[in-house]
């Protein structure tokens, strides 16, 4: 048994401290190096590895058109009440043209239709003469469709497949966590100006594209009564998120089979949180698509 004097003696000698430091030094160096890789990662490197994760260069260029079909579960949370809906979804694309359609058998919500025919972006009506909240939002920010961003890698219009022609710029913006997944963030800046802040997220291990996020903040208006009269008002925040997961081989490509869209709008008088969860189970490539399908105006 140790006596009381033993507790006044150093439990670790200077030699042991030195040995411990020498043993830990390689670990510290490796951790510092790993952190340096994250800090010094270039947007071009992330994009190159991301493209490799999709498939070989020849496979990517050969898939000139795509048709993807699946099921869709929608959840609407708005001031007017909550609503659940189940239906189907189709995504079609050919080169830079793209289409997203969702169909539901509800009297007050038939679905969504968005199309870009290479020149014009169009939004369909979900009831006669009336567009949905999502339709109105995308109509205001049609450049995300024209850029080929909506649908991510599911679309042949995905801008990272041919960034030089798009003229967009991407900047590395560090790392973040989405749930348990560590991701690289890239800021996407279109050739033309945009009211949205656009951020693309890529898994740090697989370099698969897992999220696109579009943010916009509109300051509260100041009326004739001045700032004091508008004290109850606040800014309006828009957040549009696309999530992609469950990547599996389809044809010669590796593509997501789970696709979720979420639209959040928050203001003093208005609150929206709508979500569309899609499970994709049918993929077809290089089929002929009638060009008229990409114009959904009046449909």
Q: Are residues 15 and 47 in the same domain?
A: no
| Both structure tokens of 26 | 């390689």
284 located within any domain: yes
| Both structure tokens of 13 | 């000698």
pLDDT recorded at residue 80: 66
The CATH number covering residue 216 comes to 2.50.20
pLDDT recorded at residue 35: 38
Q: Are residues 144 and 201 in the same domain?
A: yes
Q: Are residues 177 and 227 in the same domain?
A: yes
Q: Are residues 151 and 58 in the same domain?
A: yes
HSE-CB for 223 with a 13 A CA cutoff: 8
245 located within any domain: yes
pLDDT recorded at residue 160: 98
138 located within any domain: yes
pTM of this prediction exceeds 0.75: yes
CA 232 – CA 228 distance, rounded (Å): 9
Q: Are residues 224 and 259 in the same domain?
A: yes
Q: Are residues 91 and 221 in the same domain?
A: yes
Q: Look at the chain and report how many structural domains it folds into.
A: 2
Q: Are residues 31 and 148 in the same domain?
A: no
Query: DSSP secondary-structure letter at 71?
Result: E
Q: Find the domain containing 245 and state its range.
A: 42-294
299 located within any domain: no
pLDDT recorded at residue 234: 75
pLDDT recorded at residue 159: 97
174 located within any domain: yes
166 located within any domain: yes
pLDDT recorded at residue 157: 97
pLDDT recorded at residue 250: 97
What contacts 68, CB < 8 A, 6 or more positions away? 90, 91, 92, 154, 255, 280, 282, 283, 284
| Under-50 pLDDT residues of the chain | 1-38, 224-225, 227-229, 231
243 located within any domain: yes
């Amino acid at each position: 048994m140790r006596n009381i004097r033993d507790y006044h003696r150093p439990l670790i000698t200077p030699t042991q401290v030195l040995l411990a430091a020498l043993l830990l030094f390689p670990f510290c160096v490796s951790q510092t190096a790993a952190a340096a890789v994250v800090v010094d990662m270039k947007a071009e490197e992330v994009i190159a590895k991301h493209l490799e994760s999709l498939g070989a260069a020849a496979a990517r260029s050969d898939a000139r058109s795509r048709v993807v079909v699946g099921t869709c579960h929608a959840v609407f949370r708005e001031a007017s009440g909550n609503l659940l809906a189940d239906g189907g979804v189709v995504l079609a694309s050919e080169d830079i043209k793209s289409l997203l359609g969702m169909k539901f058998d509800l009297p007050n919500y038939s679905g969504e239709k968005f199309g870009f025919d290479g020149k014009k972006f169009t939004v369909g009506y979900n009831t006669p003469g009336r567009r949905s909240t999502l339709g109105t939002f995308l109509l205001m920010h049609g450049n995300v469709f024209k850029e080929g961003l909506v649908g991510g890698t599911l679309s042949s219009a995905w801008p990272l497949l041919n960034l030089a022609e798009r003229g967009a710029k991407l900047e590395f913006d560090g790392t973040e966590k989405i749930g348990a997944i560590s991701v690289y963030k890239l800021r996407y800046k279109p050739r033309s100006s945009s009211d949205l802040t656009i951020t693309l997220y890529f898994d740090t291990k697989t370099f698969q594209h897992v999220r696109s996020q579009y943010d916009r903040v509109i300051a509260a208006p100041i009326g004739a009564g001045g700032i004091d009269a508008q004290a109850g008002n606040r800014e309006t925040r828009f957040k549009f998120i696309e999530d992609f997961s469950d990547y599996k081989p389809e044809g010669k490509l590796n593509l997501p089979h789970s696709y979720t869209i979420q639209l959040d709008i928050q203001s003093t008088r208005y609150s929206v949180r709508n979500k569309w969860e899609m499970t994709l189970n049918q993929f077809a490539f290089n089929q002929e698509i009638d060009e008229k399908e990409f114009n959904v105006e009046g449909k």
